[in-house]
Amino acid sequence: MSDSVRRQIDRLRDEIRRHNQLYYVAALPEISDIEFDTLLKQLESLERAHPEFDSPDSPTHQVGGEPIAGFETVAHRLPMLSIENGYTPAEVFEFDVRVRKLLSPGEPLEYVVEYKIDGVALALVYEHGSLKQAVTRGDGLRGDDVTHNARTLRGVPLRLLGSNPPPVIEIRGEAYIGNADFAHLRAQQAAAGETPMANPRNAAAGALKLLDPRICAARKLRFFAHSAGYMEGADYETHLELLAGVARLGVPVTPRIQSFSHIEQAVEYCHELMEAMHELDFEVDGFVIKLNHFDQRARLGATSKHPRWVMAYKFERYEAITRIEEIGVQVGKTGALTPVAHLAPVEIAGTTVSRASLHNRDELHRLGVQIGDWVVVEKAGKIIPHVVRVEEHRRSGTEREFCFPEFCPECGAPAVQDENGVYIRCINPNCPAQLRERLRFFASRGAMDIEGLGVKMIETLTGAGLLTQIPDVYRLHQRRAELLALERMGEKSVDNLLAGIEASKQRPLWRLLAGLSIRHVGARTAQILAERFGTLDELMKKSAAELAAVDEIGPVIAASVDAFFASAAGRNLVEQLREAGVYFGTPQAVAASASLGKLAGKTVVVTGTLTRFSRDEIKELIHRAGGRAAGAVSKATDFVVAGEKAGSKLDKARELGIPVLDEAKFCELLDEGAG
């Protein structure tokens, strides 16, 4: 009987640990919260009935034990050093220069980018798979033993998964409180007559310093691993290998980590993550960029203050509290219905904010937003503002729930949720709102850059029936009389508009690809596809499998591109644009020949105000000629193109003895636009 009970207890513990791993690490839960709680209660019941089989690393002991008398200070086996901070791309590029200078010339390297969680640094020490100790960072050499509280953290297994964990592994990461849990905590504190805590980080730090772990457990702290300290019996060559190993052991790692071979790619990815910050339910204050290979880290070593192989790329965060007066719905270029919060105007980082996207129905539900709510609105790095959390403790009971529409608010067509997706879309391809958005994006600076075809002009032209689809843009020259008949459209206005449209026919292929509004294809993806295939016709020949094999594309983007060009609507659009004379790219062999001997292998930095080119245009020119447009001057820079009011980059070039060209000399070099 006792053996049977023991096996049942062991089976339940293993099953609960597996479900914890699926929930916190893989984000792929197999069972509901109710089903999980049922398993936990079964285990608790068996352990109470058979205390001889109790174990300190059982999942039932993750809800908090008895209070302790005080904290013990513990020495770290390896110091927990702070890391260097930078706030601009130029500072990150300089970090790259220092790293490369300390390594062998031309040595390949790889940078890993991960979120810098705004939480509390914590080191978890596991011995033979069991959690033995948890220590705060402290002064980097010694920290407080907070094991009693760490045992309550979600994502901190009391026993690691697997039959053969390392004899000793110190997993380092951040303890934090999610925004939704923090909002609930503040509401509970206000209801109890307490002063609500100021921010999630202070709440997490305060929870870890409590003597009673039961109170800490109620705060619902979580944990993300980002590195390791002292280890025995574990042999990893790279940071990515380490994190994959930690995840297999059942500890969640910082999400959305990627690696890059060039620092410019790493910075670009940081900016992509910054734009997607609204998707996070935890606070971040920047990104961490670190070398992937441990042997290179060892060679670089550390100063007395911080390691030389890692840098934090931080951004300023600006917050304000305001009230949601109403929630509307905006129809996008692909039909996605986006809820938008109409806010009581509030100043953030020097600008007045009165609107903030709530992105999709799932995001709205995650935030728990209601009409009339007071909310925290944030601008990180001065990007588009987003709602961080609801101030639940300020609710009066007059707030109203927002009901997501079942029909498009513009055309009345049914709104249908994407299969396996979060967006709800208007299914009418002829929806006027979709057309306006597709035209707006097609003409925008990020796509075909058509001067004179802005939002107001598009509304005027669609309202007059002159634009019913994208190719109509290139037929406007045939309708000059109708354009002149429009209000506020004189000869000069019409001539300027038609000149801007004609000029757009010669835009680079990637701009056309971006402007087609293919799902999942933005500027970066469009550039990759244009570089890889050269012409639109060559791209259209490729199967989804061939597209997915392209670096940085993958199956989701590939399937979307393939479906677009396989559709009757997609092919019809392409043929109409071909008929209009829009540039479809240059075959790769011709393009390679054209750029040979120009800027092949050269790194160019552009600074100052230019008169002949926009910044995007000159970067495209450099790229087409085989060069690389870099953001900062370093010893690796071949030359600098300087316009008017060139500042520190020009000074740096002169200091390093790097050749400087003005626009005229640059044009002569490429035989482009000279004279």
- DSSP-H helix ranges across 155-307: 179-191, 200-208, 213-218, 239-248, 263-275, 294-300
Q: Are 621 and 640 in contact (CB under 8 A)?
A: no
Say how far apart CA 427 and CA 407 lie, in whole Å.
9
| Distance (Å) of CA 330 to CA 335, 426, 447, 555, 587 | 9, 11, 21, 29, 40
Q: Could you give the 3-state DSSP secondary structure of residue 373? A: coil
CA angle 254, 255, 259 (to 5 degrees): 95
Say how far apart CA 171 and CA 127 lie, in whole Å.
11
Q: Which residues contact 303 (CB under 8 A, 6 or more apart)?
A: none
**Residue-wise over 541-565: b if at least 16 C-beta within 10 A, else e?**
ebebeebbebeebeeebbbbbbebb
Say how far apart CA 323 and CA 263 lie, in whole Å.
40
Q: Which residues contact 189 (CB under 8 A, 6 or more apart)?
A: 195, 196, 197, 393
The C-alpha R_g of the chain, in whole angstroms, comes to 29
For residue 645, the one-letter residue type is K
Say how far apart CA 673 and CA 675 lie, in whole Å.
6
Say how far apart CA 414 and CA 411 lie, in whole Å.
9
User: Is 379 an annotated catalytic residue?
Assistant: no
Which of 101, 116, 290, 505 is flagged as catalytic? 116
Q: Are 276 and 255 in contact (CB under 8 A)?
A: no
Say how far apart CA 451 and CA 458 lie, in whole Å.
12
Q: Could you give the 3-state DSSP secondary structure of residue 173? A: strand
Q: Where does residue 250 fall: left (phi above 0), alpha (psi -120 to 50 degrees), or beta otherwise?
A: left
* DSSP states of 118-181: SSEEEEEEEETTEEEEEEE-TTSSEEEB-HHHHTTSBT--SB-SSSS--SEEEEEEEEE--HHH
Largest CA distance in the chain: 96
Give the rounded distance of the alpha carbon of 90 from its chain centre.
20
Of 441, 420, 417, 430, give the one whose Cα is nearest residue 559. Answer: 420
Start-to-end Cα distance in the chain: 96
Q: Are 178 and 222 in contact (CB under 8 A)?
A: yes
What's the full length of the chain, in residues?
A: 675
Q: Where does residue 35 fall: left (phi above 0), alpha (psi -120 to 50 degrees), or beta otherwise?
A: alpha
The residue assigned the tokens 């220590």 is: 135
Q: Which residues contact 48 (CB under 8 A, 6 or more apart)?
A: none
* DSSP states of 507-576: S-HHHHHHHTT-TT--HHHHHHHHHHHSBHHHHHH--HHHHHTSTTTHHHHHHHHHHHHHSHHHHHHHHH
Q: Could you give the 3-state DSSP secondary structure of residue 601? A: coil
Q: Are 413 and 427 in contact (CB under 8 A)?
A: yes
For residue 317, the surrounding DSSP H or E stretch is: strand 317-331
Give me 662's structure tokens.
């003005």
Say how far apart CA 406 and CA 409 lie, in whole Å.
9
Give the residue numbers annotated as catalytic, written as ranges: 116
